Amino acid sequence: MDLFDNLALGFATALTWQNVGYALLGCLIGTFIGLLPGLGPISTVAMLLPITYSLPPAGALILLASIYYGAQYGGSTTAILLKLPGESSSAVTMIDGHAMARQGRAGVALATAAIGSFIAGSFGVLLLATVAEPLTEIAFLFGPAEYFSLMVLGLVGSIALSSDTIDKSLGLMVLGLLFSLVGTDVNSGEYRFTGHISDLYDGIELTALAMGVFGVAEIAFNLEQYNRERNRNATLAKVTQLIPGKKDIRRMMPAIARGTAIGSLLGALPGAGVTMASFAGYALEKKVSRYKDELGQGAIEGVAGPESANNAAAQTNFISLLTLGIPGSAIMALLLGAMIIQDIQPGPQVISNHPAVFWGLIASMWIGNLMLVVLNLPMVGIWVKMLRVPYRILFPVILVFCSVGAFTVRASVFDIYLLGAFGILGYVLIKLEVSPVPLLMGMVLGPMLENSFRRALMVSRGDLSIIYSRPLSLGLLIAAGLLIVISAYPSMVRKRKAALAEESA
Amino acid sequence: MAPSFIRNQPDFVLGVLYILAGGGFAAAASRYDMGTLAYMGPGYFPFLLGILLAGIGAWIVLRAMLIRGARVRLAPWNLRSLFWMVGSVIMFGLALQPLGLVIALVLLVVLASLASHEFTWKTTLVNALVMVVLNVGGFVYGLSIPFPVLPQIAAFQL
């Protein structure tokens, strides 16, 4: 089968009215949460995960994926009009975007963000479609040792680029791995770490952990801040002229191209994610743009570059998840959870075993990007009204969806208590200034990591050298080691601290 | 006040938590069958991870005490919001089986809203009503999740 046939199959799947509906719904939800500061895609995807259990596999993945890339569009609107980062990935767009808005060019800035995101998104999807199949063929050379090393690389990658020092994230990741082992051991049937609580025999529910750590904990923290600085009145910029002029288009195109390139690259790396991509996109403009002196004062490049970069990254983020079954970021980890629940065994065999799901998801991502342009440009006035929903109404709603969602998964009241407990843990982590993302990564990858470790050593009859004597496995481990070394450099630590607060929120 | 030899307070606390969690998991894992490297029992992998976590914790604790650098204090803890948020979630769980989804949701929204400085009964009750309609409609009728909807009073179930 060649790419054309595959895409035809994909569009046939994605264009059924249910799947178009899921994509539209996801784009709407994504834009909405992207707009709202203080509610991020991680907690939203976690909240909606339980609902997707009752959907067919393609529909579930289409819905969750479109929330994720939709949030990248919405975040820029808040950044430009309100000078608040709706998402952490649009924090840099704020600088020039809001400066443009103050000059009465809010409409042009919004249009630039949308056009840039669409071009970058389309390119990202195309890239995903072309590299996916060749990559899976490499993956068929993998034995358990290679899988173990690949997972180590994925885990290390997801923490190497976070803003925390590596030892703290590493510890949190190990804690996540341990949490994932709670419950029945598949090999021996023994109950581990359950404390004779029968509700734990099936393990800790992933959604309860994710919603507790990202939802409940963040609400408690946000509320603390919100109550302290009451009545901060942000002024909303007016949207006028939406259509950019000829000169604007001439200036934005090169920046879009650069942003797309760097975003696609960073998105494909494990752990880099969308926030990193938008910061890199901005940094690149600062270095190479012809108008770099205007950056910071409302240069169109300062919107086009980072916005294209984060949306390209949002699409290429899917590459390692869909081809190797290794999630590169917290959202991808949740999507992996969704795949497992839909009985899609993640890994290179996804494309051949579930072609309709795989190509349907890819096609729907392009359709979704198209929808988002339409949703965001002509309808921007409606979205702006949404920004006026006060937090005091919003946060009980989030809490309701977390609590109801926790019960929904296994119809278990115990999971509601788990949600509360993980809320406390998440709050402690926020106060101790560690990002909870590695915890989630460990929780998702733990069972597979243990399984591949056990299988590799069973194959080699207890000879540990199987992990480092095979060239492919060794190469992956070396890559993981390099990431740790690079991230431990003090200059890197400082740069990252300055650059990104955190993936979540 | 924390003793002065702790230079980085948040890291110190985190390190101690890692030691406790890692030690706890390793101790519990050591009671399961370890097996051999070739045929690992259920205890082997978690035991390794527990030791690793405790080791990382010990390193962080040492680092927080020994490495020179600016002193970092623990951020102020204001447990009020956390208490209300977690409390209302737990209350929802406790209320769900005996009292049903409708009452549990109203309790959850009211309790959570009380934590805001801008609490008003009117907005809160409207919010609760919308949540009841949405959730009962969506989850109970739409997705057929087996929620108890109304109070389950033993006397009525004779």
Whether B151 maps to a domain, the answer reads: no
Model pLDDT, residue B157:
47
Higher pLDDT, A164 or A362: A362
Q: Do the Cβ atoms of B25 and A171 come within 8 Å? A: no
DSSP, residue by residue, A324-371: HS--SSHHHHHHHHHHHHTT---STTHHHH-HHHHHHHHHHHHHHHHH
Best mutation target among A54, A174, A425 (most B Cβ atoms within 10 Å) is A174
A224 touches chain B (CB under 8 A): yes
Above 80 in pLDDT, residue A430? yes
Residues from chain A that touch B108, judged by Cβ atoms under 8 A, are 396, 399-400, 403
Whether B21 maps to a domain, the answer reads: yes
Q: Residue A284's closest CA among A250, A314, A256, A312?
A: A256
Asked if residue B121 and residue B84 are part of one domain, the reply reads: yes
Q: Residue A100's closest CA among A242, A198, A230?
A: A242
- Partners of B40 in the beta sheet? B35
B92 touches chain A (CB under 8 A): yes
A167, A224, A431 member nearest B59 (Cβ): A167
Above 70 in pLDDT, residue B69? no
Query: What does the alpha-carbon distance between residue B69 and residue B62 come to, in Å, rounded to a whole number?
Result: 13
- B4-32 b/e (C-beta count within 10 Å ≥ 16 → b): eebbbbbbbbbbebbbebbbebbebbeeb
Above 80 in pLDDT, residue A128? yes
Asked if residue B62 and residue B13 are part of one domain, the reply reads: yes
* Chain B closest-CA separation from residue A32 CA (Å): 18
Tokens of A36: 């709202």
Domain that holds residue B59: 9-66
Look at the pTM and tell me if it is higher than 0.95.
no
Q: Residue A81's closest CA among A237, A223, A210?
A: A237
Asked if residue B85 and residue B62 are part of one domain, the reply reads: no
Neighbours of A456 (CB within 10 A): 22
* Chain B closest-CA separation from residue A12 CA (Å): 26
Model pLDDT, residue A367:
92
Query: What does the alpha-carbon distance between residue A221 and residue A432 come to, in Å, rounded to a whole number?
Result: 12
Interface of A with B in 152-171 (CB under 8 A): 167-168, 170-171
Query: What does the alpha-carbon distance between residue A313 and residue A332 come to, in Å, rounded to a whole number?
Result: 12
Tally of domains in chain B = 2
A226, A393, A411 member nearest B145 (Cβ): A411
Q: Any residues with CB less than 8 A from the CB of A190 and at least 6 apart, and which?
A: A184, B32, B33, B42
Q: What is the mean pLDDT of residues A446-454?
A: 88
**Residue ranges of domains in chain A:** 3-499
* Chain B closest-CA separation from residue A139 CA (Å): 25
Chain B residue whose CA is closest to A222: B81
Tokens of A89: 């990935």
Best mutation target among B92, B134, B152 (most A Cβ atoms within 10 Å) is B92
What H or E segment, with its residue span, contains residue A184? strand A183-184
pLDDT per residue over A375-406, tens digit each?
A: 888 888 788 777 777 888 888 998 998 999 89
Residues from chain B that touch A392, judged by Cβ atoms under 8 A, are 113, 116, 118-119, 123
- B86-116 b/e (C-beta count within 10 Å ≥ 16 → b): bebbbbbbebbeebbbbbbbbbbbbbbbebb
Q: Are A143 and A283 in contact (CB under 8 A)?
A: no
Q: Do the Cβ atoms of A462 and B78 come within 8 Å? A: no
Residues from chain B that touch A203, judged by Cβ atoms under 8 A, are none
Query: What does the alpha-carbon distance between residue A235 and residue A242 come to, in Å, rounded to a whole number?
Result: 20
DSSP A292: G
A168, A174, A219 member nearest B49 (Cβ): A174
Q: What is the mean pLDDT of residues A466-493?
A: 80
pLDDT per residue over A28-70, tens digit each?
A: 998 888 887 767 788 888 888 888 888 899 999 999 999 988 8
Whether B116 maps to a domain, the answer reads: yes
Interface of A with B in 384-443 (CB under 8 A): 390-393, 395-397, 399-400, 402-404, 407-408, 411, 413, 416-417, 419-420, 423-424, 427-428, 431-434
**How many inter-chain contacts (A to B, CB under 8 Å) are there?**
184
Whether B148 maps to a domain, the answer reads: no
Asked if residue B52 and residue B14 are part of one domain, the reply reads: yes
Residue B80 pLDDT grade (very low, low, confident, very high; cuts 50, 70, 90): confident
Q: Are A176 and A446 in contact (CB under 8 A)?
A: yes
Higher pLDDT, A144 or B55: B55
pLDDT per residue over A354-379, tens digit each?
A: 888 999 999 999 999 999 988 888 88
Distance linking the first and last C-alpha atoms of chain B: 60
Asked if residue B60 and residue B16 are part of one domain, the reply reads: yes
Residues from chain A that touch B57, judged by Cβ atoms under 8 A, are 171
Interface of B with A in 7-46 (CB under 8 A): 10-11, 13-14, 17-18, 21-22, 25, 28-29, 32-33, 36-43, 45-46
Asked if residue B92 and residue B58 are part of one domain, the reply reads: no
Chain B residue whose CA is closest to A456: B38
Query: What does the alpha-carbon distance between residue A158 and residue A99 come to, in Å, rounded to a whole number?
Result: 33
Q: Are A446 and A172 in contact (CB under 8 A)?
A: no
Asked if residue B113 and residue B58 are part of one domain, the reply reads: no
Vertex A287: Cα angle to A281 and A293 (nearest 5): 105
Q: Residue A430's closest CA among B78, B92, B52?
A: B78
Residues from chain A that touch B127, judged by Cβ atoms under 8 A, are 393, 396-397
Mean pLDDT over the full length of chain A: 85
B46, B63, B93 member nearest A181 (Cβ): B46
- Partners of B8 in the beta sheet? B72
Residues from chain B that touch A461, judged by Cβ atoms under 8 A, are 38
Model pLDDT, residue A198:
86
Query: What does the alpha-carbon distance between residue A428 and residue A426 come to, in Å, rounded to a whole number?
Result: 5
Model pLDDT, residue B144:
79
SS3 A472: helix
Q: Do the Cβ atoms of B40 and A457 come within 8 Å? A: yes
Does ipTM top 0.95? no
Residues from chain A that touch B22, judged by Cβ atoms under 8 A, are 174-175, 178
B70 touches chain A (CB under 8 A): no
Query: What does the alpha-carbon distance between residue A500 and residue A61 come to, in Å, rounded to a whole number?
Result: 28
Asked if residue B59 and residue B19 are part of one domain, the reply reads: yes
Q: Do the Cβ atoms of A457 and B115 come within 8 Å? A: no
A167, A221, A450 member nearest B56 (Cβ): A167
pLDDT per residue over A97-120, tens digit each?
A: 888 988 888 889 989 999 999 999
- Partners of B35 in the beta sheet? B40
Neighbours of A7 (CB within 10 A): 17
Higher pLDDT, A243 or A321: A321
Residue A134's Cβ-side half-sphere holds a number of Cα atoms within 13 Å equal to: 6
